[in-house]
Structure 1
Amino acid sequence: MNEDMPKGMITMSMELQNLNLIDLISERHVHLRSLINQLWNTSSDIHISNSEWFIMARIYKKQVTISYVAKHVDISRQATHKLIKNMESKGLVEISKAQHNNKDKCIQLTELGEECYERNKAIKATLEAKIIAAIGVEQAEHLMQVLKLNWGLEMDA
């Protein structure tokens, strides 16, 4: 073990040693999400859940229908509606009637919602810079290329 490595990194390293690829990816994702939430919560009074961030990412700079959101976030339709109502009560989104269909409603980020999304994007950019500094530019670029590949894991219909 490298003695120059920070204590937290040694602990994380030892915990990850016996994990398979899928669990490693999952652990890193959970850890990064947790860090992003901690950093957000120390800089903002507005609590935004991971699911709400996920919805915000799908609608950033767009006006889409709620049914579109439900289909593209892999969350039940009921849960999506509940999350959107909660986001509306925080002032993050606004809901309006769809022009082409009276049944459907459209959703878009408010000015506050866009500001929150952009601040969170800056937090992620800072973390990304730290990761790149830790693993190197070449390794980071390679990792991104690998993650973007089609791994051929789609389920057969």
Structure 2
Amino acid sequence: MKTEFQAKFLQHLIQHPSERGFTLIELLVVIVIIGILSAIALPSFLNQANKARQSEAKTYVGSINRAQQAYYIEYGQFGASMASLDAGIDLETQNYEYTINGNRNGDAVIDAVARKEALKSYGGQVKVDGNLLKSLVCESDIPVQTAPSWDPADWPDCPIGFPRVNQ
């Protein structure tokens, strides 16, 4: 039975010579298409790790903003240090270094400076506006290792080069 199958298969190949496989051009076209697709997708894929690291800073700055608001409601002023806020956030992590500047011109400023060149830096601000406590979080346009330069006259906008992040 086995030899009969082999004979039929060989007869089929002889009768249909065009069904032997792919041509070199077809294989090259497939390789080029795969190369183009990987060139498009690879940078986006590699950037996902940095986005995950940057989400730490966004979350921490937002949490510190909320801790400043709670502190202000309880004590009538902004907290001057992370210890006074009792937020449970480290001032230094593997990716960012955080600084708090409370009671500066009637507001509180939080900076998250990137410790790695590929990461964006962040800043946050909490301010008393009439009877309301308002906050904002800003993200650098490009990866930088500097804090935003806050100007009280800019309120309620973020510093130049640090657009506002939607929360």
TM (norm. structure 2) is 0.25
Q: Which has the higher strand share?
A: 2
Higher RCO structure, 1 or 2 (CA under 8 Å, sep 6+):
1
Q: Which has the higher helix share?
A: 1
Q: Which structure has the bigger radius of gyration?
A: 2
TM (norm. structure 1) is 0.26
